[in-house]
Amino acid sequence: MKKFLTIALALLICISASADKKNKKATQAYKYEIEKIEAGAASNGVQAVYVQSYMNNIKNADQVCRRNAVHGVIFKGYSGRGDYHPALASDPTAQQDHKEFFDAFFADNGDYNKYVASTSASGPQYVKIKKIGYKVGLVVYVNVAALRRDLEKAGVIKGMSSMF
Amino acid sequence: MKKLTLILAALSFAAVLSAQVKKPTLMIVPSDNWCTQRGFVENYDNQGMTQTLPDYNAAFNEDQDLGFVISKISGIMADRGFPLKNVYEEMKSINTTSAELSALQGKNGGSVQTNTYTEVRNRAKADLILQLNWKVNNVGPKKSVTFNLEAFDAYSNRSVASATGTGNPSFSAETAVLLEEAVNSYMDEFCARLQSHFENMLEMGREIGLDVYVFDNDEDLDLETEFDGKELIDIIEDWVADNTVGHRYNLVDANELQMKFEEVHVPLYDERGRAIGASDVAGNLRKYLRNTVQLPVDVKVLRIGLGQARIIIGSK
């Protein structure tokens, strides 16, 4: 009996540790800071944002930053010098509610790429941080107007006129 | 079976249509302050008192940036599914009518005082009026723009959303470029606030104000007169409670001669999809007082504005 209890306890610890690792990985995937920058007049719905992403290694750093920029515009919102741009998804549970859609949207080479107009010519800037890995900064130009329009059409975010 | 499916589909389509609520109408105008600062105002004689009101005609014809900013904002709002009413087109239509009226007056020799400001608001019947204001700041060679956009509920005159701020100073940018930057910077926040107002309005209804007055009458009737053992003041309050969304209203003043209701939440639209204003609610109360309560005196409804009406008992 004692042996059985020990095995069960060990199994439980293993399962819990694995779940924790999975969660940590998921959080790491969207660990970033986003702010608006004044990089020329934002015209035709394109906004320039500066994204600083935290990652373990710098493989695909450019792609992660692009994805985080689009993620930030949809779910986090960003502010500039005295102006604030709320998240496109006003509902905080939107990502969970439409998990299938957003998993595909943010997958490698997913549709999020369509809304990245360009990135800064100088490329990403890397800073090595102890224990965390790297902080990678990149200026990303996001076509916010097109992104909003398409997400509203897909029914995953609420538009201003959706309630009428 | 196929017939049944078709009938069911038609029924569900009808249900979806009836569940849809009409979109609020939005109209953008330069703010009163903006017009005053630039001298785009006109004076009217209002029963002996001189009243200064914005002159939209002069503003649109003489200011080069106004049309540009309004068209930029209109583009963004149309993209969000809310095309703005074109105040300039409304004015042109009003000016044509005014010209026709003047011709008629010439023949009859009479004169009618009209002003564009009141007419444009009454005729456009917008649910929300967006007031736009900006100021160009010059500090040495640097130039920046302070921008303000505020939405007012045309019914309650209450501010429901606003966005304001000062953009980055620039040495070389033209005013039009600074204004474009300002619009791009502040519209997202403005739209988010407007959206939350719409959500609130759908849930809580539209706010109006209602006044009830009793004038001298032959029956010596006042609001404390009883009908079937109930004072008229209570009859009216019960009616208001029964005809408001969630029984939401605020009776701020009540005595034997007057009642003043504020923040009366009424449904947005009637069963035919027409917007419900204060005068419609007052009209319904008048019908109730005349037909159901059977008041022995006349009841009159005065429309003060989209969101305010007055009921006068004992006068016709």
* CB-based contact A28:A55 (threshold 8 Å): yes
Which residue of A lies nearest to B24 if distances are taken between CA atoms? A164
Number of domains in chain A: 1
Count how many Cα atoms sit within 13 Å of the Cα of residue B191 in the half-sphere of its side chain. Answer: 29
Count how many Cα atoms sit within 13 Å of the Cα of residue A97 in the half-sphere of its side chain. Answer: 11
How many beta-carbon pairs below 8 A join chains A and B?
Answer: 59
* pLDDT tens digit sequence for B240-257: 999 999 999 999 999 999
For residues A123-144, average pLDDT = 90
- Domain-embedded: residue A159: no
* Nearest CB to B81; choose among A83, A145, A161: A161
* pLDDT tens digit sequence for B137-168: 998 889 999 999 999 988 888 899 999 988 88
CATH number of B206-313: 3.30.1360
pLDDT at B49: 84
Distances in Å between the Cα of B242 and the Cα atoms of A22, A89, B227, B292 are 55, 37, 18, 15
Could you count the other beta carbons within 10 Å of the beta carbon of residue A52?
18
pLDDT at B154: 83
Whether the CB of B166 is below 8 Å from some CB of chain A: the reply is yes
* pLDDT tens digit sequence for B35-81: 999 999 988 877 788 888 888 888 989 998 999 899 889 988 998 88
Contact A82 B181 (CB under 8 A): no
**Partners of residue B202 in chain A, C-beta under 8 Å:** 163
- Expressed as residue numbers, the domain containing A78 is 27-154
Q: Is the pLDDT of residue A155 over 60?
A: yes
- Domain-embedded: residue A84: yes
pLDDT at A43: 65
- Domain-embedded: residue A16: no
Could you count the other beta carbons within 10 Å of the beta carbon of residue B91?
22
Helix or strand run (H / E) with residue B209: strand B206-214
What is the DSSP-derived secondary structure letter of residue B171?
S
- Domain-embedded: residue A6: no
ipTM above 0.90, yes or no: no
**Partners of residue B192 in chain A, C-beta under 8 Å:** 86, 90
pLDDT at B219: 83
- Domain-embedded: residue A3: no
Contact B189 A84 (CB under 8 A): yes
Could you tell me the pLDDT band of residue A9, with boundaries at 50, 70 and 90? low
Q: Where in chain B is the domain with CATH 3.30.1360?
A: 206-313
**Partners of residue B82 in chain A, C-beta under 8 Å:** 160-161
Contact A83 B165 (CB under 8 A): yes
Nearest CA among B126, B54, B43 for reference residue B84: B126
